[in-house]
Amino acid sequence: MRFIGGFFGLELAPESAAGLADFWQMPGDPALCFANARSALAALVASLRPTKVWLPAYLCSSLLAAFDAVGSVEFYPVDESLEPDVELLEAAVRPHALVLAIDYFGQPPHRRFLDFVRSRPDLRFVEDAAQAFDTGIAPWGGWVLRSPRKLVGVADGGFVSPATDIAPDCRACAAPDPHIRQAALARFEDLDGTANDSWHAANQSRESSERVSAMRMSRLSRELLRRAPVAPLAARRRENFDVLATRLAPYRFRPQATLSHVPLGFPIRLRTDERARVRDALHAQGIFPAVHWADLPSPTSFTVAHRLAGELLTLPCDHRYAPSDMERVAQVVGDELKRTP
Ligand SMILES: Cc1ncc(COP(=O)(O)O)c(C=O)c1O
């Protein structure tokens, strides 16, 4: 029965022509949209049933839960620029294995890896695009994994595209948890940031309670993604990145002549002690950089990955900010690094 009359529920403006949902090929069926990316990946893995999975040594530990049911999970090395060790993969990966690689900080892997993908139709490749707004190239993986809340203001969600390989009994069948958006709503209402401590704590506790489950992505997040305009958000990220690239060139991780992707943030590489100092200095000014990721799940014998985990820091440069905000961020970083401890 369709109800008519009564009070108004939350109402959103009409969909935008080029929304992020379409751009990221979000599945139209809510049963294929999960509460987070790890759940979508777990559902894909349960449907494909690979016997062997290869993961990069530089990886977010939360993703490991997606592979709990897989008999054999192995790590492969990455180099100083986080590029996959293709030589090792060529020699070690046997037919039918599933290989996951990450578009780190929004950038796709180098040509050598993409050639390897093309040369091995016997393998299944998952492109982890959780950090990628737009890699600047067509999807290279057989399946692309998304976690929209890492890039835009939605509280939940995760999906793979295409999602049609997810078996009927692996789909998202549980209702979303309304508490999932509490921290995001509190931050939204707190225009002057006076309640920062409380929404930050709420978000930390909510993130640490994220699990693999059959919970659906909320309708609100799906509808917001349909309305998020791609071009202006992408342009602002690039513009902000350029300010930091000009001001902080010596510290930039993976410098390249032209930016062909839309960046997650501006990653810098510092000595571990410098990173701690810069982080503290930024926090003192109300600027919150991210560490992707401090606690790698791979063995410490992957020395390059573990060294990078101690040295990288991601400065925010997303669409919430203007170039003048980036000048402020660059100033704090630059001043701290000029200071002798
Ligand atoms: C690259 C990458 N992929 C996947 C995930 C998992 O995303 P979610 O938290 O939505 O499960 C993360 C989490 O931080 C991530 O950083």
**Mean pLDDT throughout 118-129?**
98
pTM, 2 dp: 0.97
| pLDDT for res 9 | 85
* 314 ligand 1 Cβ < 6 A: no
| Å from CA of 60 to ligand 1 middle | 6
**Mean pLDDT throughout 168-190?**
95
Of 175, 142, 132, 137, the C-alpha closest to 30 is 175
pLDDT band at 258 (very low <50, low <70, confident <90, very high): confident
In percent, the amount of the chain with pLDDT more than 90 equals: 92
The phi and psi torsions of 164 (rounded to 5 degrees) equal -70, -15
Quick check: 54 and 75 in contact, CB under 8 A?
yes
Does position 25 have pLDDT exceeding 70, yes or no?
A: yes
102 CA closest ligand 1 atom index:
1
Residues contacting 150, CB < 8 A, separation 6+: 130, 131, 264
Tokens of 230: 């791609």
Q: Report DSSP state, residue 40.
A: H
Of 139, 153, 138, 180, the C-alpha closest to 34 is 180
131 CA closest ligand 1 atom index:
1
For residue 267, say if its preceding peptide bond is cis, omega within 30 degrees of 0: no
Strand, coil or helix: 307:
helix
Does position 121 have pLDDT exceeding 70, yes or no?
A: yes
- Give the C-alpha separation, 248 to 278, whole Å: 13
> What pLDDT, in 10s, does the model give residues 195-243?
999 999 999 999 999 999 999 999 999 999 999 999 999 999 999 999 9
* 62 ligand 1 Cβ < 6 A: yes
Quick check: 176 and 215 in contact, CB under 8 A?
yes
CA-nearest residue, atom 14 of ligand 1: 60
- Give the C-alpha separation, 75 to 69, whole Å: 16
- Give the C-alpha separation, 185 to 302, whole Å: 40
| Å from CA of 127 to ligand 1 middle | 12
Q: What value, to the nearest 5°, has the Cα angle with vertex 280 and ends 277 and 282?
A: 110
Does position 17 have pLDDT exceeding 80, yes or no?
A: no
Q: Which of 45, 126, 127, 150 to mutate to test the pocket of ligand 1 (most atoms within 8 A of CB)?
A: 150
Of 249, 309, 313, the C-alpha closest to 80 is 309
- Give the C-alpha separation, 41 to 60, whole Å: 13
| pLDDT for res 257 | 65
| Å from CA of 239 to ligand 1 middle | 25
* 147 ligand 1 Cβ < 6 A: yes
Specify the higher pLDDT residue, 341 or 316. Answer: 316
- Give the C-alpha separation, 172 to 213, whole Å: 8
Tokens of 109: 């892997």
Strand, coil or helix: 315:
strand
